[in-house]
């Protein structure tokens, strides 16, 4: 009998599920890209509306 940690199919040990490099890339795309876009839009708005330079726009 196998334990709950080990899984064996036809004598082959099957490793636990793990996140692949492409999975990390999709996480970065779905979480990182919207945060970057919203943050840049907020910086642009404050610079345009209030004249404050508070973000990446100050550097360029």
- Provide the pLDDT for residue 46: 84
Low-confidence ranges of the chain (pLDDT < 70): 1-6, 56-57, 60
Tokens of 3: 């334990």
State residue 31's pLDDT score: 93
- pLDDT value at position 6? 61
Whole-number pLDDT of residue 4: 54
What's the pLDDT at 14?
A: 80
Q: CA 12 to CA 55: how far, in whole Å?
A: 53
């Amino acid at each position: 009998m196998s334990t709950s940690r080990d899984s064996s199919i036809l004598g082959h040990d099957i490793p636990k599920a793990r996140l692949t490099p492409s999975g990390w890339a999709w996480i970065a795309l779905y979480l990182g890209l919207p945060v970057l876009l919203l943050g840049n839009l907020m910086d642009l708005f404050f610079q345009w509306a209030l004249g404050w330079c508070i973000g990446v726009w100050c550097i360029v």
